[in-house]
Amino acid sequence: SQTIHQWPATLVQPVGSPLSLECTVEGTSNPNLYWYRQAAGRGLQLLFYSVGIGQISSEVPQNLSASRPQDRQFILSSKKLLLSDSGFYLCAWGTGKPYEQYFGPGTRLTVT
């Protein structure tokens, strides 16, 4: 069966510090991978998605970047965090057809 891992679960970082969040998927090949951000009490905002190694599509211009160095690894990064980067970050995978997506447990990021 497929599983998706995210770490860390919780992160507190000062403004201006770098960020690296990692997501890995097991039990499937060539998945589509997604990074979402969820503000408190709000819906999900799609940040990046990837349909293959090295292929990254950015949905919203912001202070973040994503990379996919391996088939089942997706990394979300920032060189300098802003206060507005605080939120709940969710990684998900899907196969594109059917269209369901499967989510990791999330990372709670607080920028202080």
Partner 1 sequence: SQQGEEDPQALSIQEGENATMNCSYKTSINNLQWYRQNSGRGLVHLILIRSNEREKHSGRLRVTLDTSKKSSSLLITASRAADTASYFCATDAPRNSGGSNYKLTFGKGTLLTVNP
> Which residue in the set 13, 22, 44, 58 belongs to the binding site for partner 1 (CB under 8 A)?
44
Contact 18, 85 (CB under 8 A): no
The DSSP letter of residue 76 is E
Site string for partner 1, 8-27 (x = CB under 8 A): --------------------
Task: Report phi then psi at 59, rounded to 5.
Answer: -95, -35
Please, which residue, 13 or 102, has the CB nearer to partner 1? 102
Residue 53 touching partner 1 (CB under 8 A): no
* DSSP label at residue 64: -
CA dist., res. 30 & res. 82, Å (int): 32
91, 102, 68, 16 alpha-carbon torsion, rounded to 10°: 0
| 61 touching partner 1, by CB under 8 A | no
Among 78, 81, 104, 111, binds partner 1 (CB under 8 A): 104
Q: Under the rule (CB under 8 A), what is the footprint of partner 1?
A: 32, 36, 42-44, 46, 49, 51, 59, 88, 90, 92, 94, 96-106, 108
